[in-house]
Amino acid sequence: MKREVDKRKTQKALRKLRRAAEAATAEEGPGLTTWEKDFVEGVTTRLETYGSAFRDPGKGRLEEALSARQAQVTRVIEKKSRKTKAEAKVTPAKDGSADLAKRVGPRRMSSFKTKTKPGWKPRGRDINDDSEPTPTEPATSKRPTLKVIPGGKR
Contacts of 25-32 with C-beta under 8 Å, sequence gap 24+, read 26/81, 28/84, 28/85, 28/88, 29/81, 29/84, 30/80, 30/81, 30/83, 30/84, 32/77
Above 80 in pLDDT, residue 67? yes
Model confidence, pTM: 0.52
Domain count, the chain: 1
Residue 99's pLDDT band, with cuts at 50, 70 and 90, is: very low
Q: Which amino acid belongs to residue 147? A: K
* DSSP assigned state of 131: S
Q: Would 122 be classed as within a structural domain? A: no
Q: Would 148 be classed as within a structural domain? A: no
Q: How far apart are CA 32 and CA 43, in angstroms?
A: 15
**Predicted local distance difference test score (pLDDT) of residue 90:** 52
* Average pLDDT across the chain, whole number: 78
Q: Would 48 be classed as within a structural domain? A: yes
Q: How far apart are CA 135 and CA 41, in angstroms?
A: 82
What does the pLDDT look like over 79-98, one tens digit per residue?
A: 988 875 556 555 555 555 54
Q: Would 24 be classed as within a structural domain? A: yes
Range of the structural domain that residue 66 is part of: 7-87
